[in-house]
Amino acid sequence: MTEATNVLREGAAALGINLNDEHMRAFGIYLGGVKEWNRRANLTGLTEDKEIVTKHFLDSLSCLASGKLEGHKRMVDIGTGAGLPGIPLKIVEPGMEITLLDSSRKKAEFLSFIVEELGLSRVRVVCSRVEDFARREDTKESFDVALARAVSPLAVLMEYALPLLRIEGWFVAQKSKRLEKELAAARTAASLLGGEIEEVKEVEVPFLEATRYLVLTRKTRPTPPEYPRRPGIPTKRPLGR
């Protein structure tokens, strides 16, 4: 992992993060776990160490540029998959309390394994559809920050995330391309769900040529009780269109 190690250290430093030996040990364990479990749990299409470090680990750490994650925050990582961005963030910000949420049983099994291997505390793995999770009495409108690496359209992600946030909580969505086409619908959806897009922040991920954005949405008022709609409906009939 020599080249990937250098990329990780240099890339994190460019993001303003000083990785010590314990951090590097944890990322090494994490990388090995992702590669070992990838075939059985379909964690990522990437296979090369440098690609995983750049496109997954450094990309995840770029969320810190949002300025919303510092301190002892209660966070939820929606559709976390291999634990991204939640686990890289937890490695460098151990004070976070984070819930890793994914509907895939195999991915949840991997997450439980890697959390134990890394010895991470205050991390909960939940296997559930987000629409169901957001309606639970112990979770709805209870998180300080919701995270998502935004594969789904932004308007859909608003319906997943905002019902989980307390008032004045923040949704940090990572987006790469086609952002302008999504923003109008996303702003309408956010307004319906009790939120407001405050900023779209362009971030540079070291060693990655593609442009990345953080869409920062603040929860300003309670989400109406009819949201989120039942599983599958947010994707089939996105708000704001």
In the chain, % of residues over pLDDT 70: 100
- Residue 206 structure tokens: 């070291």
Residue 152 has pLDDT above 60, yes or no: yes
HSE-CB for 202 with a 13 A CA cutoff: 6
175's CB contacts (< 8 A; 6+ apart) are: 150, 154, 182, 212, 213, 214, 215
Q: What is the rounded CA–CA span in Å between residue 134 and residue 98? A: 15
* Domains in the chain, CATH or no CATH each: 2-236 (3.40.50.150)
Residue count of the chain = 241
Instruction: Place 1 in a pLDDT band, splitting at 50, 70 and 90.
Output: low
Question: What pLDDT score does 190 carry?
Answer: 98
Mean pLDDT of 189-208: 96
Q: What's the pTM value of the predicted model, to 2 decimals?
A: 0.96
Question: For residue 8, what pLDDT band results from cuts at 50, 70 and 90?
Answer: very high
Residue with tokens 């059985």: 40
